[in-house]
Structure 1
Amino acid sequence: MRRVATGLVGAMAALFLGARQFQGMHPAWGYVLAFAEAGMIGGMADWFAVTALFRRPLGLPIPHTAIVPENKDRIADTMAQFLQDNFLIPPVVARRLRAMNLAGAAGDWLADPGKGGSTRLRDGAADLAAQVLESLDPERLGSQVRGGLFRQLDKLEVSPLIGQMLATAIADKRHMPVIESLVRWSGLTIEDNEELIREMIHRRTNAVLRWTGLDETLANSVLDGVYKLLAEVIVDPDHPLRGKVEEGLAKLADDLQNDAELRAKIERLKAELIANPAVSVWWQSVWERLRSAMLERLRRPAGAGNGQLAEALTELGRHLRDDPRLQHQINRFARRTLVGISVRYGNQIVRLVSETVKRWDADTITTRLESAVGRDLQFIRLNGTLVGGFVGVVIHTVDVLL
């Protein structure tokens, strides 16, 4: 396409020279001369405009040329700020999560033996349940077991416990599936908001880019780059973005244990969950059936209590699957938690985008953007040549008539 566009300008130059030779032979040659001259000028002007976007024309230090490589750091910061302001914000995250029934999905998984109930989950839950049961005063059990258990839960500050569990999971590399899920969710969020991205880029680009239609191409390039980045994160276990996310998770684990404000917020959410009547009814029914045998079964060697625990997990799954009020409470808790995470740690994710683009050299970003835009750049030159020629004919016609 470069050769076609350049060849068309050359053809205009040849036509111009030929028309000059025959100009006096017939008035029609004046129109041909005007067409060739204006087309040649239009083609050269658009060649200069297209070239100035990505490099300096003829290598000359002309001001306001090589726009993309000269402004790559600003472009990187703008991209990062755009992602921060339009995706990792509470309304967008909450809207995406509002359409997801996390509690219902978890209940369906737990209630169906063919979908869940792994040995690791059962063993871990068995150990935790045994510790909780042994921490309670046996004399307060019986008819007051529900109130006693909830009082113990109310006394237990869950934020440091969650922080310790998260830190242990990170140390044992058990958090990798969570990172992959977050990356996939980020990709789906961007995909659902592509029109918003295109509109924002269109509004923020200058008039030249909008006039030439390059704002749409630039939007396509930005979206393709982000999708490619997320795909690389999923495929490459050593990708730098994973490291940034791990840093964020590690900071979250530390904040859960040491940040007084975050701990207070989680305590308030825990209190709301405990106060839900649906939780009380569910726990009372389960506890009445399991309390007499659970401790003995859980502490038997070789996991002999797993059958009883599996029944409890299945019962929990059925309640999560079939109780809309319980689903609403848990989904709201999850939504508030993830919104808080996006607000607190989202800037660490988008910062990686900015830093990655800034690390690219000028030739790399120029080549990638120019290749992404592709043939359309040369069609600008072709259109400029032809449109310029027709404008020249119009001007010549007006000049002749006047």
Structure 2
Amino acid sequence: MNGPAPLRTDQPGAGGMKRLATGLLVLMIALYFTSRAFIPQYPALEWVNAFAEAAMVGAFADWFAVTALFRHPLGIPIPHTAIIPNNKDRIGNALSRFIRQNFLTPPVIARRMRRTDVAGAAGRFLARPSAGEGRMRAGASRLIADAFESLDDERLGGIAKGAIAGRLKRMEISPVIGRAMAVAINEDRHLPVIDKAVLYLANALDDNESMIRDMVYKRTSWILRMATVDEKIANSIVEGLRKLFHDMAADPGHPVRIKIEQQLADLANNLQTDPELQAKVEAWKVKAIDNSSVALWLDDLWQRFRKSIIDSAHDPDAVMAGQLGDVLQSIGKSLEEDERLKKAINRFARRTAVGAAASYGDAIVTLVSDTVKSWDATTVTERLEGAVGRDLQFIRINGTLVGGLVGLTLHALHHFGV
């Protein structure tokens, strides 16, 4: 990347206000010298001269103060000028600390989230795709797409993949697998799996019959091979296994099938109750997550998710159309009408936001400070000056007028001998 993306922060009329402030300064200079020249002929011009003199001084002083914030006045490197460019790193750190201490603390997030009906807003957003909400959805979609496209994919993806991997490592999967197996067994959903396994073994026997016969041939003595006993043994083994698989496939009450089902039920129970087995499964899970293949899978999962979010955000109307749109609208109505669901989702959103602030607040504000530090002095100057430029010119205008009024007051006090 060559630098930060262009960002329009200029306030409306900032350029015009700058010309007005400079014009007032020029006017006060002209008024001062003109009135001074005609005072001998028109003594009353002393009042105008006093106003113009003080206004000119005030205008110069405020011009210097405003200019010194962003650059050296007239290009002269006067000490303590160009304050913002020379201190941009310190400003970035101060800004990040300010955001962290005042916005990204768990108590602040919790108070804010208590007043925010996330579920209700999401429900209204999904349930009624009217013209107004369509514009809001389009704006929000563009914002989401821009955010996912502009944010550092490596850093954001690393956070997402790290969060998924961390969550998987903390989750105890043994009881989950055990309960899932128990439910499947109770509902006889394991029977098709056993049928497929038996069919697979039968096909594997047919495909590897020659290998079995070769193994028997190599393990029998030459005397038995001369008597062709090896062929009889191989035939017995192959036919016995083939009959076993056929009988298991045809008879749901076959003793071997019953034994397999009992072993599966025991495994389901042990996964939920046996600490030793649970520890082994958890160790296997951690090794699997740390495997490079799983890392590639997580990366592919993140990229698919990111692409789907961006594609959907670019075309929100397509997402809300068809059966998917009907489902989303149904979910939206449920979010609006079901108070228990709304309360649960809002609680989850609040806890998620608070947890994110506690876990990633430092990383977020570090991103802010690092971004400011990465900008060059010209970029920082242009963005900050553009953001507050109109108000800065008002300072110059006010300084000119207030200075003139102060000068006029001092002249009046002197004139009347006060």
What is the TM-score when the length of structure 1 is the normalising length? 0.50
Matched, 1:50 2:66: yes
Offset from partner CA, 1:134-179 (integer Å, 9 cap, x none): xxxxxxxxxxxxxxxxxxxxxxxxxxxxxxxxxxxxxxxxxxxxxx
Match of 2:40 among 17, 24, 30: 24
Please name the residue that 2:76 is paired with: 60
What is the rounded CA distance, in whole Å, between the counterparts of 2:26 and 2:369 in structure 1?
A: 42
Q: Which residue of 2 aligns with 1:383?
A: 398
Task: Assess, with a 3 A threshold, how the Cα gap between structure 1 residues 347 and 232 changes in structure 2: closer, same or farther.
Answer: farther
Instruction: Name the aligned partner's letter for residue 384 of structure 2.
Output: L
Alignment of 1:116-195 (within 5 A): none
CA 1:325/1:377 → structure 2, altered by over 3 Å: closer, same or farther?
A: closer
1:385 Cα deviation after fit: 1.6
RMSD, matched Cα: 4.5
Whole-angstrom distance in 2 between the partners of 1:37 and 1:239: 52
- Asked if the contact 1:42/1:388 (under 8 Å) is kept, the reply is yes
Instruction: Map 1:3-402 to 2 at 5 A.
Output: 3-98=19-114, 99-100=116-117, 234-235=145-146, 237-257=148-168, 263=170, 292=187, 332=347, 335-402=350-417
Contact 1:94 / 1:335 at 8 angstroms: preserved in 2? yes
Shift of residue 326, structure 1, vs aligned partner: 7.2
1:331: how far off? Answer: 5.6
How far apart are 1:34 and its partner, in Å?
A: 0.8
Cα contact 2:118–2:349 (8 A) shared by 1: no
State the 1:362 CA deviation.
0.6
User: Could you state the TM-score of these two structures normalised by the residue count of structure 2?
Assistant: 0.48
Q: Match of 2:41, SS?
A: coil
Give the aligned partner of residue 136 of structure 1.
Answer: none
Contact persistence 1:76–1:355 (CA under 8 A)? yes
Structure 2 Cα separation of the partners of residues 335 and 33 of structure 1: 64
Cα offset, 1:97, TM superposition: 4.4
Residue aligning to 1:279? none
Deviations 1:224-273 (A, max 9, x none): xxxxxx97773164423444332222332343355xxxx4xx78xx9xxx
- 1:401, 1:94 → 2: CA distance? 64
Runs (4+) of structure 1 exceeding 6 A deviation are 103-106, 230-233, 296-301, 320-323
Distance 2:150 2:52 in 1: 54
Residue 244 to residue 233, structure 1, CA distance change in 2 (3 Å) = farther
Deviations 1:271-324 (A, max 9, x none): xxxxxxxxxxxxxxxx8xx963666699999xxxxxxxxxxx9xxx9xx97886
Identity of aligned residues (%): 47
Counterpart of 1:344 in 2: which secondary structure? helix
Distance 1:363 1:298 in 2: 68
- Write out per-residue CA displacement over residues 354-399 of structure 1, whole angstroms, 9 at most, x where no aligned residue: 1111111111111112122233322322222222112111101100
My pick for the range that moved more, 24-33 or 39-48, is: 24-33
Q: Residues 233 and 242 of structure 1 are in contact (CA less than 8 Å); yes or no, is this contact kept in structure 2?
A: no
User: How far apart, in 2, do the equivalents of 1:6 and 1:298 lie?
Assistant: 85
Contact 1:248 1:345 in 2 (8 A): no
Give 5+ residue unaligned stretches, structure 1. Answer: 116-183, 189-229, 271-286, 302-312
Cα separation, partners in 2 of 1:74 and 1:26, compared to 1, 3 Å: same
Flag the structure with larger Rg.
2
Structure 2 counterpart of 1:389, one-letter code: G
The unaligned stretches of length 5 or more in structure 2 are 1-15, 130-135, 176-182, 197-326
For the 8 Å contact 1:103–1:330, the answer to whether it is kept is no
CA displacement at 1:47 relative to structure 2: 0.9
Q: Which amino acid aligns with 2:105?
A: I
Residue matched to 1:177: none
* 1:33 to 1:291, Cα distance in 2 relative to 1, 3 A: same
Compared CA separation, residues 96 and 291, structure 1 to 2 (3 A): farther
Alpha-carbon offset, residue 77 of structure 1 = 1.5
Aligned with 2:81: secondary structure? coil
Quick one: distance in 2 between partners of 1:19 and 1:105? 68
Structure 1 residues 30 and 298: alpha-carbon distance in aligned structure 2, compared to 1, 3 A threshold: farther
- Aligned residues of 1:244 and 1:349 also touching (Cα < 8 A): no
Q: Is the 8 A contact 1:244 1:352 kept in 2?
A: no
Structure 1 residues 363, 401: closer, same or farther in 2, change over 3 A?
Answer: same
